[in-house]
Chain A
Amino acid sequence: MSLGLIVVLLISPFAGFLINGLFGKWLKGKEKLSGWISALAVFVSFACSIIAFTSVRGGGGMSGDEGILYEWIKGESFAFNIGFHVDALTTVMLLVITGVGFIIHVYSIGYMHGDSGYTRYFAYLNLFVFAMLILVLGNNYLMMFVGWEGVGLCSYLLIGFWYEKQSATDAGKKAFIVNRIGDFGFLLGMFTLFAAFGSLDFTTIFDSADAGNFQQIFGASTLVIATLLLFVGAVGKSAQIPLYVWLPDAMEGPTPVSALIHAATMVTAGVYMIARSAVLYELAETGEVVAWIGVLTAFFAATIALAQNDIKRILAYSTVSQLGYMFVGVGVGAYASGIFHLVTHAFFKGLMFLTAGSVMHAMANELDMRKMGGLRAKMPITHWTFLVGAMAIAGVPFLSGFWSKDEILHSAWAISPVIYGIGLITAFLTAFYMFRLIFVTFYGESRVESGVASHLHESPPVMWVPLAILAIPSALIGLLLGWGGHNSWFHHFTEHVFPKAHGEASGNMLVFMGISSVVGLAGIAFAWIRYRERVPAAEPTHALHKLVANKYYIDEVYNAVIVQPIKNGSHYLLWRILDTGIIDGIVNGVAAAIRLIGGTLRRLQTGLVQAYIVSMVVGIVLFLAYYLFVR
């Protein structure tokens, strides 16, 4: 594998961004061209990713010095390189990002048709792919951080894409601010690592950590602190408790964005980061914290999803919940299983978001499923593809989600039966809320308003073809790559990347598979019983329902406990007293002093040549005096 390949892979979406960003005005009337340029750019990356993938399969790869493109800046004791690390994990991520990314780009060409910000949208989308590629390709934490911030920025821009809408800009801001908390943790984690290892390169850090050869800046808990701080970053980016609140609101963005950024790629960056730092998490033994946060998030988000009526919101909470599963996977040391779930999830969740977009497209942006019903007849392709996705996530045997979720649960059993138990309940809930969504939306009587119903139609080919393409891996990828559980092809492919897990999965694989299947099918059956003909009530029926429907009032709690006190504190304490009183006093004092100095100095700048010469001579005399008398 050559560096040139990776450079092409990386630069191609950036070139797409530049073309769409700089010549947007020129492309205004030619929106097809703009979209296809952008999709082509990602396709080039995808082709390069396939080459890289075959090369890694053949034993190639890139790590350490050979991946260094060039040195950015260099100091005495440190050097920051622009370098790439390409191994099995990287290529898996590359294929997901560029593959799913390409399909979503194509889908967007149809979905965004006629939007006034068409070229802007594709510019942002290309920029996002570029940043995401930097994130997974970098061979050091600094590059990862650059990508990390880059995807955060693009996410913010795309959530608030329709900036005329107050709720969209609010959601963008919320995502940005909540992510900032996580990024701050990530940054501190990076500082800790740098202080301990004197480098941010993956190879250097992992080798030194293995050998115990580093500065114990926080004593024995150095690595614990570093990994936990990094995990704070992952919690923010991957929407885990307690920082998950931004993701459901992020659905204000265009739906393909939700599919690409807020389901398939960016939100999984945290999982990728932990898998990449697996060596550190093994040594620090902080994986269990990760697993617990993950499983609690999975359960918590699944319960919220039970009582939502907005399609995209259900999918959003489902994403949070599935991300929790991935964290359980990497937390219990089953790194390959966690990443495998990331891959399958990227396909089936991306698919479901796109189908939701297809529904929205037909329903004139209606999202409330109580106003749908019976869509199956009018939109057969959308219905079938959604069904595939839902069956995959629900864990119907032999579909992709079944394999990956089962592996995670199986590994969790070895660490803690409690985690396994909660995970299993979550699996039941997942199957239930997904099929609730299906039955209410696609089956039963049509409740579509007559004005909308008249032009209810299947989406154009540029939109349904991507759906069909995505449905294939959603159904089959588990069978192809995951057959055999822990001895599957996927595990063999990635086995050199991850350290040996501290807990071996035990027990008979088939028993676990059986239990999972039963639980998943039970969830579907339960949904069939309850929602085959019924429509969710307009108002919550009892207290628990109300609690869940209102998302446990977490947003309200955060608002009351964190946002308002900070606002009030800022207003009364910081602004009124500290700022206007003390700081302004000081600042104004300093400013007055500087103004006084400036005024005096300005008087020297009279504009008169004589005065300038005098000040020069005074300077000369002073310096000469210093030489002659002081020294």
Chain B
Amino acid sequence: MLFNFANVLIFLAVGCLFVVLNLTISRLLHTKLFSGEKYIPYECGEDPIGDTRIKFNTRFYVIALIFLIFDVEAVFLFPWAVVSRSMGLLAFLEMLVFIAILLVGLAYVWAKGDLEWIRSTQLEVQAVQREESYDN
């Protein structure tokens, strides 16, 4: 029982090592140019210091959210890849359906114009026009 946890320990150690190693290598290699911006903590594109009651652009979160979905899709693909051979055709079809549903979601977001960084008002204008044509 206890021995099984050794695997976990090794993973933990390797994980820590990986981070430390990469950061060290990067520190050794990168050019050392400092500017004011770089001293500010990074917070998702927002000003981290100041009044909290400000208007901020929500586009970033929408994009992040959409990205997250595909991130999670990738996570699902890993365990699937492990067993897909033994499960045969069914697993393949299922993953196709899964990806297809996500693709439909992507298409929906695309069609609604949520992938544009600056959302076009054209769609809204079109919708209003359609509505007016109904009323007439």
- Judge A-B direct contact (beta carbons within 8 Å): no
